[in-house]
Amino acid sequence: MSPPPRLVVLLSGTGSTLQNLIDRICAGTLEAQITGVVASKPGILGVERARKANIPYTVVEKKPAVTFGERTFDAIRLYEPDLVVLAGWLHLLQIPPGFRTPIVNVHPSLLPAFGGPGMYGHRVHEAVLASGAKESGCTVHLVDDTYDTGPILLQRSVPVESSDTAESLAAKVQAAEREAYPEAIAKLLASASR
């Protein structure tokens, strides 16, 4: 039997997306292994989750900013990924020429709506509520050199109720992400191995 495909997870925050992937892998519902985590800040909960799960991690601090991209990709390469998974990673990646491994992200809206620079976390849900949209959701997409514009792999919608707050909408969208992201990752890994 061949070893499970290798994921490298990039994060900047609480790592709840990482935790979901760890849980799915442990439960046997996602056939993959997380060979490394790259975090953009020390001391964040995402790093603690990696440590608890015995996943090797590297913290790549933003400063000096000129070398941040290079240092990030050096750390990614160290863990030899088949797929790079962004999980609450808050920085634009400048993908080096020659880096062929696919990179995937999950965004908490139905792209192309409510994406782009500055659209992360509760800002997305506040903008959705302010627009009067009747539905929101999540989008799993491949990552290119700009925010939230890469080819869409999968979307899941959730209803927006008049009683929703940014918090309640975030909870619904996150529940959709918990299903959609592992599903899209599994599909991508299956298509890459054919």
Q: Closer to ligand GRF at the Cβ: 67 or 171?
A: 171
Q: Does 149 bind ligand GRF (CB under 6 A)?
A: no
- Interatomic CA distance for residues 182 and 3, integer angstroms: 18
- Inter-CA distances, 122 with 38, 60, 193, Å: 23, 25, 36
CB of 17 to ligand GRF, least distance (A): 3
Residue of the chain from 46, 81, 102, 115 that contacts ligand GRF (CB under 6 A)? 46
Residue entry with tokens 């899209």: 184
Residue 107 is a catalytic residue: yes
Residue 105 CA, distance from chain mean position? 4
- Inter-CA distances, 37 with 12, 60, 97, 127, 136, Å: 10, 10, 22, 31, 29
Stretch that binds ligand GRF, among 6-14, 49-57, 91-99, 157-165 (CB under 6 A): 6-14
> Residue 37: how many CB atoms within 10 A of its CB?
27
Q: Does 81 bind ligand GRF (CB under 6 A)?
A: no
Q: Closer to ligand GRF at the Cβ: 13 or 150?
A: 13
Residue of the chain from 5, 15, 137, 150 that contacts ligand GRF (CB under 6 A)? 15
Q: Closer to ligand GRF at the Cβ: 35 or 109?
A: 109
- Interatomic CA distance for residues 111 and 85, integer angstroms: 18
Q: Which of 91, 107, 122, 125 is catalytic?
A: 107
Where in the sequence numbering do the catalytic residues fall? 107
Interface contacts to ligand GRF, rule CB under 6 A? 11, 13-17, 46, 87-88, 106-108, 174, 177
